[in-house]
Each structure stands twice: as structure tokens, then as C-alpha cells.
A and B are shown apart, each in its own frame.
Chain A
């Protein structure tokens, strides 16, 4: 791989780790002058392009001035889930690619073939031969996938319920704020 591409990949991975530390540290990282920063006037979260390794899209959460306890809890949970997901899928994809390459090389060696054929192109195995690897990968990671699944469902439900609570809370606040202001205007002097 191109050295520049490797650096770019590491830059992206580091960026996402720093995104998570950013929200807890409360300060933007100094060395990342090429990082994306949403406009300070924006009141919304921002979602980015899919990460190179995990294929998941990073989110930069907007922190409102009068953030309530509940909203902060939701934001922390979402950020933490995003990081956990990113870590899992990065590891999954990288391991898959590595093991696939190793498998191809070992199979080619068994057949007595070199990695590249006469024309300099990389040799590939047939889909039947690869199917052995795919099955093996799935079986090896069966338990890990099952536990990830359970954890993901749990987090998804919790985040959604919390979002629901936050929404109801903000609706209630808006309504009671209106009622209070109406009462103030209607009160006799």
C-alpha cells in the first residue's frame, strides 16, 4: 500500500478516537488542523462519510447551552455506542481481510503457485475454495457475533427509549413554558 494511504487510514482511525475524547475533554484536538468542525452556529448534529475501516458513519453531537441531565446522558450513551460499534467493526473488517489474505496465500502455497501469475496479476482462488474460508470465519466468530448482537440490541433499545423520554420532556417543557407565559400575561396588575 501507498505510504500516504496508510497515513490517511491511520489519520481517519485516530480522528474517530479523538472525536470521542473531544467530547469528554471538551476541547478540540490541537494537532488535527484538517479535522471537520461544524459551524458554531449550527444547532444540529452532523454525520460524516463512512469510516474507511468500520464503514460506520461518525456523528458529531451538538451540545445545547441548557442541556438537561437526560440529554447529556443520551448524548454520552450515543457517543459511547458509536465508539464501541466502530471498534468492533474495525477489528472485524481488518481481521477478515488479514485472514482472507493469509488463507489465499496458504492455499496458493499448497498448490505450489506463486502469489502473482506470469502477467504480474494477483492470483485469486475460486469461489468454492473461498467458501471454505468464509465458513471457517463464521464458525470461529460465532460466539463473538452472538454477544455483539445481544449487546447491540440492548443499546439500540436503551438509546431509543431515552430519545423518547427526552422528546417527551422537551415537549412538556415547551408546553408548560407556554402555559406559564400565558398566565403571566393574563394576571391582573
Chain B
């Protein structure tokens, strides 16, 4: 009995477009009519289940929603375009609000089964007559006042600025700072991280501001604050400027002008190049990879004040990492991209997509070997990091050869833990500068 709404939900998510619920209703209709003799209790209990038992709904929906969130990620991020954690409960429940009520509407739209209740004539009159009013009532419940509730603002801002993605970006910046061969200055470290975080918030907010109608049409992004109208576009832009201007100013004045310039450049690349390009050309992926490569360079320049080869190496590693990550992710979202008008490699040039992912996974091996060559890491680093690099290359090869959804999913999930692991190993293998007394005998000899 409890399986029907569960199947209903699975169908909802599999089809992923609300406009196809008609088909689902039709199939539910058929099922109900087919099982008419046995279903006289279940139709009623089905409707009661919709109304009275939300806990069952949350459990299964939670699972499939999470699965969908985790698997069907889109690009649109500042660097890694990764969202490893699921959306908070609040948005989950609000999604339930919309679709649950529409489902209840659909189920009540089903004609009562003849012979289901004792006196069917009276029952059908009761069913038909207030049905329109019931629909209107349910629809009215879904309309929300466009008023800013101050208690909700922190959550809204967190979702607007994609705070989890921002945290990942700040993590790569911190890694860049830590890898720089200078004494660690905690104050500068914090200032660089805060400045980068604020810049990332601005970039993400402006990205959401630009993409409201597109976000509405894709499942993963349809619960964003601007799509749901929780704040106005003006409010979103003001928030973005309130984050970005202090952020870039902080980087320029308190850290150094080079880092400030890189921060501003990154915001520009992300909002004015990557976001519009997503709908115009597949070159957006390369621009997006550059956007992802800049934060660790910013961390390094915050420490040293110069664009050393070490900084460029870190940037190159992040740049190469973006491709297996994003190409694998976009492989399973081709339908949504096509319908939304996004020009991604996975849709327009599928073979290129897989080739590029493989190419850049292999290049990670080469870039790791450059670590000791550029005095960034000790010689142990390429050896220690070889297993994970080989593993991701192997998965990229399987993805390239098989071109299937499963392979793409595996590669994407691998990339999620591969990057933090790589950065951590790099930190542990960082080349420590020699203490002064060891250097002098060499100077004496020469």
C-alpha cells in the first residue's frame, strides 16, 4: 500500500520535468483501474496518506532527492563546480511543498473507481463538485507573499552565494597560501581567505542573478532564492556588491595589489565570460577551468606577492582537475542541458568531451612530477600521489572507452575526493626551506 506513492515519486524524479506528470497520472490511472476490485481501501488510504503521513514521503523523497542532487550536478560554480553536501532540509521541505501538493492535486483529479465506495453516485457528486474548489484551495496554498522575512535572510544569502562551493574555493586558496615557501603569517592567511571568500560570494550571486529563467527549468537549481522569489533581483545585486567590493578592496589594500587584481579578474571571468558563454559556445568549459585555477594562485601570491612558477603549477593542477570533474558530471545531464539551451561538450561534441577528460587526467600525473622539479615539493610527492592519480586516470579511461552513465558517475565521485587528497598530500610533502647553518658550508666551498 505504501509502495504506490513511492513509485509515483520515483517516476516524478526519473522524468525530471513537471510537465510530464500528465503521463504519470495516466499510468497511475491505469494502475488504479486495473486493480479496481482490490483497491477500494487503497484509493482512500492513498489520499489519506498524502494528507496525513508526511514522514513516509520525506524518507523516500529525501533519499531520491539526495541521490538526484548528488548525481545531477550542474556547472555554474566558481572553481571546482563541486557540491559534495546535500541541500539543507529547509529547501527540501519547500520542494516537497510544491510537488507534494501538486501530486495530491493529481491524485484527487483521478475519477473515483466505480463500486469503490458503497453508494457511488453520492460519492461521485461529492468528489466532483468540490474538486475544483479543492484544487483552488491547494493552489492558493502554494502562492507565497513576496516579502523579505528577516529571519530567513542568512539562509537565503547562504544559498545565493553558494556558500559550500565558496568554502571549497577558500580551501584551495588556503592550500595555495600554505604551499608558498615563506613563513606562515596567520593574519595574512585569514585576510586572503576572507577576501577570496567574499569575491566568490559576489561571483556566485551575480551568476544566479543572470540565470533565473534557466535555473527555473533545471531540477537541481529550481529551488534557488531568486527563482523562488525570496528576494528581488535588486536585493541580490546589492548583496553581491556588498560582498565583492569589500572583498576585492581587502585583497588589494590589506594583502597585495596582485591578489586583488586576480580576485577582480576572477569575478569578471566568471560572471561576464563563463556565464554568458555557457549558452553560446563550448569554450565555456575552458574559461571555467581557468576560473577554478585562479584561487590557489591567489593564495600563493597573497603569501609571496609574486607569480612564481610554484603558483602556476598549482593553478595548472587545478585547471587540469576541472575537466574530468566537470565532463563526467555533465555527461549525465545532457537532456537538461539541451532543453535549457546550454552548449556543453557533452551534448554537442561527446567524443571530444571524453577525450579531454582522459587527456587532463593523464596530465595530472605529469604535473605532479613537476612538483619536485620546481622546488615546490619533495621528490616523494609524485610517488605518494601516484596511486590516486593512476586511479582517476583509470576511471577516465573507462569513461572514455565505455561512454556510459555509470562510468561518468564513478569518475565524478572520484574527482570529489581526489582533489582534497591531492592537496593534503602536497602539503605534507612540501619542500621545507633549508635552515641557514646548512647553507653556509656550501657557500664557503664555492
Contact = CB atoms under 8 A, between A and B. Distances in A.
B44 interface: no
Interface stretch (B13-21, B76-84, B291-299): B13-21
Contact of A131 (B20, B23, B334): B334
A167 B217 contact: no
B213 to A, nearest CB: 5
Contacts of A131: 334, 347, 350
Given A138-B338, A138-B343, A49 B109 contact: no
A89 B17 CA distance: 13
Contacts of A163: 232-234
Nearest to B403: A128
A5 B341 contact: no
Interface in B208-233: 209-210, 212-213, 216-217, 222, 227-229, 232-233
Contacts of A47: 143-144, 146, 228-229
Given A55-B18, A89-B217, A160 B23 contact: no
Contact of B22 (A5, A153, A159): A5
A18 to B, nearest CB: 14
B213 A2 contact: no
| Residue picked from B111, B143, B227, B350, most chain A C-beta under 10 Å | B143
Contacts, number: 158
Contacts of B146: 44-47, 59
Contacts of B384: none
Interface stretch (A144-152, A172-180, A181-189): A144-152
B5 interface: no
A55 B405 contact: no
Contacts of B133: 34
A30 interface: no
A105 interface: no
Nearest to B218: A55
Interface string A124-142: 0001101101110111011
B72 to A, nearest CB: 13
Contacts of A152: 213
Interface in B125-173: 132-133, 135-136, 139-140, 142-147
A46 to B, nearest CB: 5
Contact of A135 (B135, B233, B237, B347): B347
A127 B405 contact: yes
B143 A55 contact: no
B372 interface: no
Interface string A44-58: 111111101111110
A18 B440 CA distance: 86
A50 B98 contact: yes
Contact of A44 (B147, B279, B348): B147
Interface in A1-47: 1-2, 4-6, 8-9, 33-36, 38, 42, 44-47
Contact of B338 (A42, A50, A85, A137): A137
A79 B411 CA distance: 44
Interface string B332-365: 0011011101010001101000000000000000
B373 interface: no
Given A6-B22, A55-B18, A46 B145 contact: yes
Contacts of B280: 146, 149
A141 B341 contact: yes
Given A34-B135, A55-B216, A138-B347, A1 B26 contact: yes
Contact of B233 (A4, A54, A153, A159): A159
Contacts of B404: 127
B102 A49 contact: yes
Interface string B399-411: 0000111000000
A48 to B, nearest CB: 5
Contacts of B102: 49
B92 interface: no
B233 A156 contact: yes
B39 interface: no
Contacts of B338: 96, 133-135, 137-138
A89 B213 contact: yes
B386 to A, nearest CB: 33
Contact of B109 (A5, A33, A59, A149): A5
11 contacts: A9-B19, A34-B132, A47-B144, A49-B102, A56-B216, A59-B146, A127-B404, A127-B405, A130-B334, A156-B209, A160-B237
